[in-house]
Amino acid sequence: MTRKDEQAGQAAPAGAASAEAVEPVTAEWTRHAAEGVLLDGFHALKHALRFGARVPVAVTTDRLAVRELAQSLAPDLLDVLDGLLREVPETTLRGLVPRAHPTGVAALALRPSAPGWGGDGDGVPGPGAGTQEGAPLVVLDNPRNLGNVGAVVRLAAGAGAAGVLTTGDLDPWHPAAVRAGAGLHFAVPVARRQVGRLPRRPLLAFDPEGDDLRSVPLPPGAMLAFGSERHGLTDALRARADHLVALPMRPQVSSYNLATSVAMALYHWMARPS
């Protein structure tokens, strides 16, 4: 028997997915790819599942490694992940996503529709599960950096904000924003609205010329609006604002990072006397 014959007769490595097993997984991925939300990595999938995302397809290059990770970081999801994840070769994963995550996990989730979030009478999502009554709604006015948008979504989810709205042309559900948000777009309502369609709530807009935030009471359910780091608030948002407020800042420092500004404002709300 030649060496070639010996190699042909060798068994496939344990756990390796056959072409027949991979084909229906890739077909399901293709079916949902156009409208699905890419969950890039274990932590994004973990968060999305915890907050009720509908995930029709999820893949990994190593089911055993993911199970060990889940036992440590998400034991509450072990059974769900066991039933959901399908193992594929690394070459298949690289063909499905623009950049394979180090955890070797990727999934597609169905983007929630606005009517499913509830609302306050104007088609804008109301407070989600786990959100305190009167929680503020974060508004990002014409943001330009998708990574910042995702970071703000992550902050809003952790702080229990009522949601995140963006104005302008960037989609807050862009894959780069979802990646930066670590799957927490499913933990808090996230949508895009133009200034004229913002909900009917008090709007406090952050501007260096505004009143010190520490001296301004936050109305229940207020919107907290932040301009882009380079250009600040748009004229339309400034005209819509009920009050201009400013974050305390050392003289000669020009600005904070957008996500830092949102974190400071949300902490001010969280630290208010009960």
Report yes or no on 3 lying in a domain.
no
Q: Give the number of domains in the chain.
A: 2
* Whole-number Å distance between alpha carbons of 89 and 189: 35
The predicted-structure confidence for 17-39, as pLDDT tens digits, reads as follows 666 778 999 999 999 999 999 99
The predicted-structure confidence for 71-118, as pLDDT tens digits, reads as follows 999 999 999 999 999 999 999 999 999 999 999 999 999 998 763 333
CA distances from 216 to 59, 194, 257 (A): 49, 26, 22
- Among 49, 79, 110, residue at a domain's last position: 110
24 and 149 housed in the same domain:
no
- Among 80, 110, 140, residue at a domain's last position: 110
* Whole-number Å distance between alpha carbons of 105 and 42: 6
| 110, 54 Cβ separation under 8 angstroms | yes
The predicted-structure confidence for 244-262, as pLDDT tens digits, reads as follows 999 999 988 888 899 999 9
127 and 77 housed in the same domain:
no
- Confidence class for position 5, pLDDT limits 50, 70, 90: very low
- Confidence class for position 229, pLDDT limits 50, 70, 90: confident
* Whole-number Å distance between alpha carbons of 251 and 237: 26
70 and 188 housed in the same domain:
no
What CATH number is given to the structural domain containing 57? Answer: 3.30.1330
Average pLDDT over residues 209-237: 93
Report yes or no on 206 lying in a domain.
yes
pLDDT in the model for residue 18: 64
54 and 16 housed in the same domain:
yes
- Confidence class for position 273, pLDDT limits 50, 70, 90: confident
- Cβ count within 10 A of residue 60: 25
248 and 158 housed in the same domain:
yes
- Confidence class for position 119, pLDDT limits 50, 70, 90: very low
Average pLDDT over residues 202-226: 94
pLDDT in the model for residue 17: 60
What CATH number is given to the structural domain containing 152? Answer: 3.40.1280.10
Map 42-56 to HEC letters. HHHHHHHHHCCCCCC
96 and 168 housed in the same domain:
no
Give the burial class of 66: count Cβ atoms within 10 A of its Cβ; 0-12 exposed, 13-18 middle, 19 or more buried. Answer: buried
75 and 125 housed in the same domain:
no
Of 176, 185, 253, 264, nearest to 218 by C-alpha is 264
Q: What residues contact 256, with CB distance under 8 A and at least 6 apart? A: 247, 249, 264
The predicted-structure confidence for 151-188, as pLDDT tens digits, reads as follows 999 999 999 999 999 999 999 999 999 999 999 999 99
80 and 207 housed in the same domain:
no
200 and 243 housed in the same domain:
yes
- Confidence class for position 230, pLDDT limits 50, 70, 90: confident
Q: What residues contact 27, with CB distance under 8 A and at least 6 apart? A: none
C-alpha torsion sign, points 208, 209, 213, 215? positive
Domain that holds residue 82: 11-110
The predicted-structure confidence for 123-155, as pLDDT tens digits, reads as follows 444 444 456 778 999 999 999 999 999 999 999
- Among 110, 140, 167, residue at a domain's last position: 110
64 and 143 housed in the same domain:
no
C-alpha torsion sign, points 54, 57, 60, 66? positive
Report yes or no on 115 lying in a domain.
no
236 and 134 housed in the same domain:
yes
